[in-house]
């Protein structure tokens, strides 16, 4: 690590650590050791969420997935707790974990980059699913879905709904105790990375 990067970590109250696990060298920047997570199980969890959605809960989506784009805007209230970096197929995969309080309750946001490009964002709310239906209604609108599809989604009663557009993006909203929102900006790259990462846990 360069002197400048080390100084930046000290000024930000962060520590650094490199760990070898299952053949992967992972570089961490963190505030507390309790914040650690391993990128491979995280990828596994996200992948299992996607493949677990029943076919009748998958709908075409028009245009960009604005629900995910909002998370990439700078937010002073979102605090970075940990950053994990690992090289996959020779290019950097970075996962940042943030926490933010909304109405005095915590939320967690994971942002994923591959080759320095936004790959995915996963928002975990801790509100016992109270906002699930409002999030579905916000994302799956008449304009985004088209009249025929919208008629199927507007009164969606299931705990999972997956929207996908023709531009390689998908958006999963689910109620798994709490409301979770997963937006993948590049499904092809995500699937390719998972094929490499899963070999370490098969």
* 12-57 tens-digit pLDDT: 556 888 888 888 889 998 877 666 778 888 888 999 999 888 888 8
Q: Compute the average pLDDT of residues 75-102.
A: 88
168 pLDDT more than 80: yes
Q: Is the pTM of this model over 0.75?
A: yes
Q: Are 93 and 114 in contact (CB under 8 A)?
A: yes
| CA dist., res. 142 & res. 26, Å (int) | 43
- Percent of the chain having pLDDT more than 90? 29
DSSP letter (8 states) at residue 132: H
Tell me which residue of 48, 71, 70 sits closest to 174, measured CA to CA.
Answer: 48
Q: Name the CA radius of gyration of the chain, rounded.
A: 18
Distance of CA 23 to the CA centre of its chain: 24
Q: Compute the average pLDDT of residues 150-160.
A: 74
| φ, ψ at 6 (rounded to 5°) | -65, -40
The SS3 of residue 89 is coil
The strand pair at 105-114 and 117-125 is best described as antiparallel
Highest mean pLDDT among 6-15, 124-133, 146-155: 124-133
Tell me which residue of 192, 191, 20 sits closest to 89, measured CA to CA.
Answer: 192
């Amino acid at each position: 690590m360069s002197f400048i990067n080390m100084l930046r970590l000290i000024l930000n109250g962060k520590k650094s650590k490199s760990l070898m696990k299952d053949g992967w060298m992972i570089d961490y920047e963190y505030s507390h050791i309790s914040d650690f997570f391993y990128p491979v199980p995280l990828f596994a969890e996200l992948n299992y969420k996607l493949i677990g959605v029943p076919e009748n809960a998958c709908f075409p989506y028009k245009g960009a997935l604005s629900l995910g784009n909002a998370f990439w805007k700078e937010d002073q209230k979102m605090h970075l707790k940990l950053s994990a970096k690992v090289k996959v197929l020779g290019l950097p995969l970075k996962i940042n974990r943030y926490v933010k309080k909304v109405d005095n309750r915590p939320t967690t946001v994971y942002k994923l980059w591959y080759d320095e490009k936004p790959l995915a964002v996963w928002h975990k709310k801790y509100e016992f699913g109270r906002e699930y239906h409002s999030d579905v209604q916000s994302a799956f609108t008449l304009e985004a879905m088209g009249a025929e599809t919208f008629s199927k989604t507007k009164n969606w009663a299931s705990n999972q709904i997956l929207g996908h557009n023709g531009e390689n993006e998908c958006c999963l909203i689910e109620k798994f105790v709490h409301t979770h929102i997963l937006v993948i900006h590049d499904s092809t790259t995500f699937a390719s990375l998972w094929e490499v990462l899963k070999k370490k846990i098969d």
